[in-house]
Each structure stands twice: as structure tokens, then as C-alpha cells.
């Protein structure tokens, strides 16, 4: 077989995997938005079976044989990039025993289902048994991956979401942040103290909020021919690039949380909807990594969505959808969007306290995976960190404490740090977009976010995984990931 | 390998197929209820890939080898039944070339999507090109299956939905019906003439109608822990036994159509939800056939749902949900539920004109598959039959004519006859249930359909595919399928 025939066969294999993943993405979306609870066991079984199938396909001897037969020098540059991504995926899958993959999928789905019951009931004890099994399996995964990659256990899980990120780099960024974040947070709180803040008065109907959200999504270029907006307990962006499913959750007494959540998920969605069309079915056509993904949601939510210029654009629509009230006065709206107030819930956290939530989870999950603590130790660790980092007492409140996130339920340890890396990258991208498009802020102030969106489309979305993350960042911004842009952004917005 | 090990391995293989089917069922439900139109191409690809995978699994040499190794005598009786169903499925799949399976799945999904656009636009010409391809592939399928089964081409497609039904039996039943149906229909229309009928006055809100529908579903024992109700262009019952998804469509100016549609689909749903739990993942645990399935929907909609006793139970709920009005007076409601009025739309047809719609489609699809006519000939045939059987002029009205059904779009030729076979079986089952439970009608009149539902559960639902259809009917009713019960039921209700 020639090298080029082998490459074509490998593309066909990955196209098949892409289509299997489509079915899994839709079953997963349905599970969190539509599925009645009694359907969970059968769904978990079906999704686990799909995981096994995909794992078998990826690790088949034939797949590895094809990879070996290809001479990269015979390929076009973009094909070479695709081959690099294929190789990594096969390697990441080959190290995992199929029984472990299946056990994780099953345990994850069960634990998610238990979590959906236990969280509202504040039932940490009820959550523990299924969660303990998830942790046991994740530790096993970390051990196996660490051995194969020749790195640390937690680091090995981190690299599932952020290929090539070593723990030392992350440690140095997070240690740096540990130094300045608490000070900046209290300065920001002090800075805002005394500023009069009028809170919106509900009730705000779900239907009105949804219509407003859809209008903002359209404004941000979301394509409703290839996606939709629904409700789930924990907001997420799922589906496939041709059919992106994003969710939010509405509260009757509040209207900005759901709206900002929608803007956030729209950032993820636009990235997915604008991945390179000609690479759609291949690894090179996928979103780059979790941190890059999060940088897109935060570019839209934090860099754009909570800026004074953007909030002024929102005001008339908010009034039209929900009626006018003193809280919707423009300057008050801006203060609301930029209010710094340490709170219990990560997804509702403001931009300044958010990294503290991440540091807390990072410390706990790292210790948990490295075997330094057990699941029983989580609440005490949680309470202690919340007190230290955010000055909040969370004792006994599991619902809004360590039960608040869905991530750990299916064993996604190593994911949380990517949120803060994404926030840093978003600030760096915004700075680069401003340099490239000097009219960017003026145009946003006129109600047109097009310059920013087009710049992101060209420099991030359309790149898919054709470049590796450091190269993507360097080409887009002219330098490596540099957290200083983030610190600068926070100081400008919150202490300026 | 021992025979019993081979059997266990075969069960494991069919469990895997069951889980793959779960993913397909959910993707299919989503496609018709939730999916934005732009998602269709990727969905069609993913579902076609799944069809190929399932076909490959079913026809793998290993599967056939296992089948050969099993000595049926070494199995328990229920395992023998399961083996019989497995054998039939493997045989039905083995005759089909994988390329044809994939081409059909792709062409079907495309045609369905085109249909969704063309039907509201009354655009028969726009529908033709994609539909022509579907017919071409179905003819190819019919040719291959007929050769393998040694039967006629249309008969071979019929047997996909109604295993073991030969065309001669069907012909004789339908020829018989051709004799008495037109007379009974005009007699029924004449019988009702002059009876005063007050039509319900809308608008009826979708949300109110849905709540009413859900209440009736609960009354009929639908388990909302394992299913849900949604909206689609063409009502259907999909999903999986652990998570049954049924749909209806609402009209603002009308309220009984959607409600009766819900009762109909609830019949399908209760069958699915009550299939034998211990055989859930195996062929023996599936619903028996399409005619048996339809007999369950019609037992609930026609035998029970439109009976005077049941309609009297509905009245207070209708009033509570939609407010009172003259049309909701009990005797008028009964006349509405039992109104005979030849109309254009099959799914909205009354019980007496419904079989005419089936005869029409049966004649056309049989001629189409046998190559006696081409797709271009359908409208003329349609117009001519509608005039002859129902006295209606449909010329130029494709929307409410030959474009009204979804079935042909994905090549489900041979399906339509099962609707009328189901209606006949429903009447026969009801007669048997009445003999077995003399209090059945009295209890329904008191508001409790439990005796009927329990009898169906024991005699039909819990049987799954453990018995073959003729044996299922014989054990439940003491005789073979006998259309006389149906004719008797129609005469009693509409000429009595």
C-alpha cells in the first residue's frame, strides 16, 4: 500500500469516528436536557457501548498499521497536521484498556444521574458511593497515562484537555496568580464599595428571557439553522459543529445571569460553528483545546459582553423584553455586569473571584488524583479554601459547595485549570485584536461587534487544530501565553 | 465451543445491537422534533454510518457461525424463541448488500428533509428527484429480498413489517374489505345525516392542550419517568422501551385531533414500556410486528378512546383544561369523536373512512414497487382513487394528497397495510377482552380503564416477540386473525 492510500484509509476511519461521535454528542445532549430520569440506565449502557466501539476503532491494529505506513513527508502541510492529531488520539486511546473505558463511561453516567438527585437535596453522603467509584477509576486512568507519557499522574489527566501543557508551566502561572489575586480581589471590592447598586426586580418570565437571549445570540452571529438553545441544570455547549446545542438555566428573580451565560456559551458555539469546513470530519478540524475553547466563551462574555460599550447596546433590548425599571439604567447595568462580589457558585462568579474558584478546585482535584486526600476529605478542604480565598463560610452547604459542578461526576479531573488559562488567553487575544483593528472598540460602541468576531474567526475558529496551541497563540498574538494581559485587563476594568 | 456458550455470545452480540439501536432511535427522534434544518446532512451521515455498523454486526461471519453452532434443543423454550427471532434478523440483513443499506439510509434522510420543505409548499415537482432515488433503491431492495425469500417483490417488503404475512392472505382480506367498505361508509354518513353537530370554537392554546394530553396519558398508565410528549410535523412514537418518546401536533382551531392522536400514540407507548423486562435487550423482547403495534394504538384510540363511555370520562377534563362551551356537551362530544366524514388526511380520518386511505396507498405502493407505475404516475392514481373511494377531488393538492405522509420518504413501502390489519386485530382483541372480563365496559363507564389495560398487558405487551404473530393472536383471542370482528365493530358503532 502506498503512503497516500494509507492516509486516505485513515481519513475514512476518522470520518467514521466523527459520525459515531455525532451520535454520542446528541445522546449526551439529550441526557442533560430532555431525557426522563428513568431512561438513564439504558442511556448509560448505550453511551458506554459507543465509547467501547470508538475506543476499539481508534486502537484497532489496522489503524496503527496504517499510521506506521504513512510517510509524513509525502503529505500536504494540512494533512501533516491532521496526521499529528490522529497520532495523538490513537496514542491517548491505546494506552487505555477497553474495560476501563467502559467502566468509566458507565460509572460517570450513573454518578451524573445520582448527582442530579443529590445536589438539590444537599445530600453529600448519598453522592459519595457512586462518586468514590468514579475517583477510583480516574486514579487508575491517571496511573496508566502517567506511565505511558512519562509524566506525573495529575499532569497526565491535564494533558487530555490541554495537550502539551506541563504541570510546571501551569504551577508557575497559578503560583503567580496566588500572589496577586487575593489582593486584587479585595482592592476591587473596596473600589466598588459605596457605589450605589440597584438590583433588578423580578419576576422575569422564562419565555421573555429566552427571547432576549436568542436575540443577543443572533447579534453575536449564532446560526440558528445549525443550532438551538435549551435549558439544563448546568449550562453547557454540546452537539456537533453542524448542529450546536447550547443551554442555560433561568431564574425568575434574576435576568442577567442567564443572559451572560448565554453569551458565554455563544462564544463556544461560534467557535464550533466556524471550524474549518473542509476539515469538518477530521481531527484537524476540531476545536484546538479546552483552554482555547474557554478563551472564546470568555472573549464573548467577559472581554466583550461585560464591557461598558456592549452593556449600553444591551439596554434597549433588555427594556423591550422585560420592561423598564430603575436597575436597567445604563450606568447601573454596567455596574451590575461588572459587580465584584465573592460568592459560592463558580458559574455565577464575577470575573475577579472566578480564578479563586479554579485555584480551589485545582488544589483539591490534584491532591485527590495524587492520592494525598480521599473523597471524604473534600468538604473540609472546600470549606477551608473558600474561607481563605473568598472569605465565605460553606460548612454543611454541599449543594452550593462541592456538589455544585458536574465535572467531577464523570471523572473530568484536570479540566478546571483550563477555565483560567482560557480567561488569560481571552485577554491576550483581545489585546491583539485591538492592535490589529484600531476601530474595534469604537465599532462595538456603535453596536457592531463584527470586527472582533471576524478577527476571532480568522485567527482562532478557522484554524481548528491545524496548529498546535502554542503556535496558534503565537501567530494570533505575536507571543506565547502571557498572563500579564489578564492581570492588566482586571486592573483596568476593576481598579481603573 | 458448546452450544450454550455460542448462545451466550450471540446474546451479547444482540445486546450490543440493542444499544446501537438506542443511539439511532434517539438521533431519529431528535431529527424529527428538535433538530434545526441545517443539521440534517451531518445527522443523515451519522445515522447511515450506524446503519452500516449494525448491518455489519448482524451479518458478520462470526454471528452466522455462532447461529450455526447452536443446537436449539439445548435451549430453554424462551431462548428458542429468541433464537428464532435472531435467526430471522440475521437472514433479513444478510440478503442486503451494505452499500444498499447505506444508500437507503442516506437517501431516506435526504428525502425526509426535502419533504419537510416541499409539503407545506405543495411542491410535488421539488419532491420528485429525491423521492425517485428512494423508490429506485426500494425496488432494488424488493428484488433482492424477493429472490432470497422466494416470494413476490412487494410481498418481500411487506414481510419486513409483518413477518410471515403472505400477499394472498392480505389480498383476500383487502378484497373482502373492498366489497363492504364503500357501502358501510355511505350508510354511516347517511345514518349520521341530520344529526346536529356543534363544532368546538377555538382558539385552544398549545400549552392547555398539552396539559390535557398529559393528564389523559397518565390516566392510560403512561409512565413519564420513562418517556415524554413532544411536537412533530407527523405524530409518531419513538425512542426506546425505557424512554418512549411520543409526539403530536396541535392546531389552534381544534382540540380533539391532537388529543385523539395522543391517545393513539399512548397505545404504542404502553406496549413499548411494558415489553418483557427480562428480554429487554434481546429480539424476543421487542414488539411483535407493526400490525400488532397498531392494534395497541387502535385499542386505545378507537376501541376505548372514541367509545361513548370513555368520552363521557373525558368531558370534565376537557372543560377544566379548555373551558366549557356548547360543543363539549357530552352527547355532542361523542358525536364529534365518532363523526364519519370522508376527508383528505389519513391521520385525521375517522375509523370508517380510514381503511379507504389504506387501500389507496396499498394499491399505489404495490404497483410502484412491482414496476407497474412510475413516481410521476402517483398524483393521477391518487386523485382517481380518492374520487372513487372517498368521493373527494384532490387534483393539484399534493400537500393534503400524496405528500401528506412521511412513510414513503424513507422507503417504508409495505408498511401501510399494517394499519388496517391492526384495526382488525384491535377489534378482535377487544371482543376477547370483553369475554374474559365481563365487567370491562361497566368499569370503563365508571372511569377505570384498568381491566382492559391489564388484559392487553398480559396478553400482548408482556409477550414481546416470544410468540409468533398467529400464535399470539390465537392464544389471546382463541382464533386466527378474523376481520369479521372489525366489520361487526364498525356496524355496531356507526349503524347501530
B30, A35: Cβ pair inside 8 Å?
A: no
**Closest C-alpha to A82, from A260, A285, A224, A223:** A285
- Structure confidence by residue, pLDDT tens digits, A13-68: 999 999 999 999 999 999 999 999 999 999 999 999 999 999 999 999 999 999 99
Q: What is the pLDDT of residue B1?
A: 67
Q: Could you tell me which residues of B are annotated as the binding site?
A: 264, 268, 294
CB-based burial, A13-30: b 16+ in 10 Å, e otherwise: bbebbbbbbbbbbbbbbb
pLDDT surpassing 70 at residue B469: yes
The answer to whether A311 touches A337, Cβ cutoff 8 Å, is yes
CA distances from B413 to A194, B90, B117, B139, B417 (A): 74, 21, 21, 10, 10
Could you tell me whether strands A237-240 and A243-248 are parallel, antiparallel, or unpaired per DSSP bridges?
A: antiparallel
Could you tell me whether strands B243-248 and B227-231 are parallel, antiparallel, or unpaired per DSSP bridges?
A: parallel
pLDDT surpassing 80 at residue A364: yes
Element spanning A85, H or E: helix A77-94
- Give the pLDDT band (50/70/90) at residue B412: very high
Q: Which of residues 217-256 of A touch B (CB under 8 A)?
A: 223-228, 239-243
Give the C-alpha separation, B320 to B322, whole Å.
6
pTM: 0.91
Give the C-alpha separation, B406 to A445, whole Å.
50
**Closest C-alpha to B312, from B336, B340, B295, B296:** B336
Q: What is the pLDDT of residue B327?
A: 96
Cell 496508566 belongs to residue: A144
A243, B23: Cβ pair inside 8 Å?
A: no
Give the C-alpha separation, A290 to A146, whole Å.
20
Give the C-alpha separation, B152 to A453, whole Å.
61
**Closest C-alpha to B347, from B427, B436, B277, B248:** B248
Q: What is the pLDDT of residue A166?
A: 86
Question: What average pLDDT does this structure show over A135-163?
Answer: 96
The answer to whether A483 touches A173, Cβ cutoff 8 Å, is yes
B50, A23: Cβ pair inside 8 Å?
A: yes
Q: Among residues B85, B133, B162, B265, which one is catalytic?
A: B265
pLDDT surpassing 80 at residue A195: no
Question: What average pLDDT does this structure show over B120-141?
Answer: 97
Q: What is the pLDDT of residue A1?
A: 67
B39, A226: Cβ pair inside 8 Å?
A: yes
Question: What average pLDDT does this structure show over B59-66?
Answer: 95
Q: What is the pLDDT of residue A445?
A: 94
Cell 399494517 belongs to residue: B418
Q: Which residues of B touch A46 (CB under 8 A)?
A: 19-20, 22-23
The answer to whether A355 touches A489, Cβ cutoff 8 Å, is no
Give the C-alpha separation, B221 to B217, whole Å.
6
Q: Quickly list DSSP for A235-299.
A: --EEEETTEEEEEE---TT-SHHHHHHHHHHHHHHHHHHTS-GGGTTSGGGS---HHHHHHHHHI
Domains of chain A with bracketed CATH: 3-153 (no CATH), 154-496 (1.10.1370.30)
Q: What is the pLDDT of residue B189?
A: 94
pLDDT surpassing 80 at residue B260: yes
Q: Could you tell me which residues of B are annotated as the binding site for Zn(2+)?
A: 264, 268, 294
Backbone angle region of B297, left / alpha / beta, with phi > 0 → left and psi within -120 to 50 → alpha: alpha
E strands present in B111-258? 227-231, 237-240, 243-248
Element spanning A221, H or E: none
pLDDT surpassing 90 at residue B413: yes
The answer to whether A100 touches A144, Cβ cutoff 8 Å, is yes
Give the count of beta carbons closer than 10 Å to the beta carbon of residue B44.
Answer: 22
Calculate how close chain A gets to B353, using CA atoms only, in Å.
37
Tell me which DSSP letter residue B462 carries.
G
B265 is known as an active-site residue: yes
The set of cell numbers assigned to A124 is: 453529600
**Nearest Cβ partner for B23 among A27, A41, A240:** A27
- Structure confidence by residue, pLDDT tens digits, B443-468: 999 999 999 999 999 999 999 999 99
Cα Rg of chain B (Å, integer): 22
Contact partners, residue B354, CB within 8 Å, separation at least 6: B346, B419, B420, B423
Measured between CA atoms, the residue of chain A closest to residue B36 is A225
**Closest C-alpha to A465, from A5, A59, A87, A7:** A87
Question: What average pLDDT does this structure show over A123-130?
Answer: 97
Cell 487575544 belongs to residue: A429
A20, B49: Cβ pair inside 8 Å?
A: yes
Q: Which residues of A touch B53 (CB under 8 A)?
A: 20, 53
pLDDT surpassing 90 at residue B3: no
Share of chain A above pLDDT 70, in %: 100
CA distances from A494 to A301, A352, A486, B427, B480 (A): 16, 8, 12, 75, 82
Cell 468514579 belongs to residue: A134
- Structure confidence by residue, pLDDT tens digits, B264-289: 999 999 999 999 999 999 999 999 99
Please provide the average confidence, as pLDDT, over all residues in chain B. 95
Calculate how close chain B gets to A41, using CA atoms only, in Å.
8
Backbone angle region of A221, left / alpha / beta, with phi > 0 → left and psi within -120 to 50 → alpha: left
- Give the pLDDT band (50/70/90) at residue B101: confident
- Structure confidence by residue, pLDDT tens digits, A418-427: 999 999 999 9
Measured between CA atoms, the residue of chain A closest to residue B24 is A23
- Give the pLDDT band (50/70/90) at residue A164: confident
pLDDT surpassing 70 at residue A149: yes
Question: What average pLDDT does this structure show over B12-32?
Answer: 98
Cell 481508534 belongs to residue: A58
- Mapped onto helix, strand or coil, the DSSP state of residue A436 is helix
The set of cell numbers assigned to B258 is: 391532537
The set of cell numbers assigned to A385 is: 479554601
pLDDT surpassing 90 at residue B243: yes
- Interchain contact B358–A (C-beta under 8 A): no
CA distances from A217 to A309, A348, A449, A459 (A): 17, 19, 12, 21
- Structure confidence by residue, pLDDT tens digits, B147-180: 999 999 999 999 999 997 889 999 999 999 999 9
Question: What average pLDDT does this structure show over A88-105?
Answer: 90
Q: Please tell me whether the peptide bond between B203 and the residue prior to it is cis, using omega within 30 degrees of 0.
A: yes
Contact partners, residue A492, CB within 8 Å, separation at least 6: none
Count interface pairs A-B at CB distance under 8 A: 106
- Mapped onto helix, strand or coil, the DSSP state of residue A229 is strand
B46, A23: Cβ pair inside 8 Å?
A: yes
Amino acid at each position: 500500500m502506498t503512503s497516500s492510500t494509507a492516509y486516505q484509509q485513515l481519513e475514512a476511519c476518522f470520518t467514521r469516528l466523527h459520525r459515531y461521535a455525532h451520535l454520542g454528542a446528541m445522546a449526551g445532549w439529550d441526557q442533560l436536557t430532555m431525557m426522563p430520569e428513568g431512561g438513564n440506565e439504558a442511556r448509560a449502557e448505550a453511551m458506554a457501548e459507543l465509547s467501547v466501539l470508538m475506543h476499539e476503532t481508534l486502537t484497532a491494529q489496522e489503524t496503527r498499521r496504517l499510521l506506521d505506513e504513512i510517510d509524513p513527508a509525502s503529505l500536504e502541510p494540512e494533512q501533516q497536521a491532521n496526521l499529528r492529531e490522529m497520532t495523538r488520539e490513537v496514542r491517548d486511546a491505546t494506552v487505555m484498556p477497553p474495560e476501563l473505558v467502559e467502566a468509566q463511561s458507565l460509572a460517570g453516567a450513573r454518578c451524573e444521574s445520582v448527582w442530579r438527585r443529590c445536589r438539590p437535596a444537599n445530600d453529600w453522603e448519598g453522592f459519595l458511593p457512586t462518586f468514590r467509584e468514579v475517583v477510583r477509576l480516574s486514579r487508575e486512568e491517571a496511573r496508566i497515562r502517567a506511565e505511558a507519557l512519562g509524566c506525573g499522574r495529575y499532569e497526565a489527566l491535564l494533558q487530555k484537555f490541554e495537550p502539551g501543557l506541563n504541570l510546571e508551566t501551569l504551577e508557575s502561572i497559578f503560583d503567580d496568580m496566588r500572589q496577586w489575586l487575593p489582593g486584587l480581589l479585595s482592592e476591587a471590592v473596596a473600589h466598588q464599595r459605596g457605589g450605589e447598586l440597584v438590583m433588578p426586580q423580578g419576576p422575569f418570565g422564562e419565555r421573555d428571557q429566552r427571547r432576549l437571549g436568542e436575540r443577543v445570540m443572533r447579534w453575536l452571529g449564532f446560526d440558528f439553522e445549525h443550532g438551538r438553545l435549551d435549558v439544563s441544570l448546568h449550562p453547557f455547549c454540546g452537539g456537533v459543529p453542524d448542529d450546536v446545542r447550547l443551554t442555560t438555566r433561568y431564574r425568575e428573580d434574576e435576568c442577567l445571569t442567564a443572559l451572560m451565560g448565554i453569551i458565554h456559551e455563544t462564544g463556544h458555539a461560534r467557535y464550533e460553528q466556524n471550524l474549518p469546513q473542509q476539515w469538518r470530519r477530521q481531527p484537524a478540524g476540531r476545536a484546538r483545546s479546552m483552554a482555547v475553547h474557554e478563551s472564546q466563551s470568555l472573549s464573548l462574555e467577559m472581554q466583550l459582553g461585560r464591557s461598558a460599550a456592549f452593556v449600553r447596546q444591551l439596554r434597549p433590548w433588555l427594556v423591550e423584553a422585560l420592561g423598564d425599571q430603575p436597575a436597567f439604567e445604563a450606568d447601573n447595568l454596567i455596574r451590575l455586569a461588572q459587580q465584584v462580589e465573592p460568592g459560592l457558585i463558580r458559574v455565577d462568579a464575577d470575573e475577579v473571584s472566578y480564578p479563586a474558584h479554579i485555584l480551589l478546585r485545582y488544589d483539591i482535584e490534584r491532591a485527590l488524583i495524587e492520592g494525598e486526600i480521599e473523597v471524604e476529605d473534600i468538604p473540609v478542604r472546600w470549606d477551608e479554601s473558600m474561607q481563605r480565598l473568598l472569605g465565605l463560610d460553606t460548612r454543611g452547604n454541599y449543594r452550593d459547595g462541592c456538589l455544585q459542578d458536574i465535572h467531577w461526576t464523570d471523572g473530568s479531573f484536570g479540566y478546571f485549570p483550563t477555565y483560567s488559562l482560557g480567561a488569560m488567553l481571552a485577554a491576550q487575544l483581545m489585546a491583539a485584536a485591538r492592535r490589529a483593528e484600531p476601530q474595534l472598540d469604537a465599532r462595538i460602541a456603535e453596536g457592531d461587534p463584527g470586527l472582533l468576531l471576524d478577527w476571532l474567526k480568522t485567527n482562532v475558529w478557522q484554524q481548528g487544530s491545524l496548529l498546535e496551541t502554542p503556535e496558534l497563540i503565537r501567530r494570533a498574538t505575536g507571543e506565547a501565553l502571557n498572563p500579564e494581559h489578564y492581570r492588566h485587563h482586571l486592573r483596568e476594568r476593576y481598579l481603573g
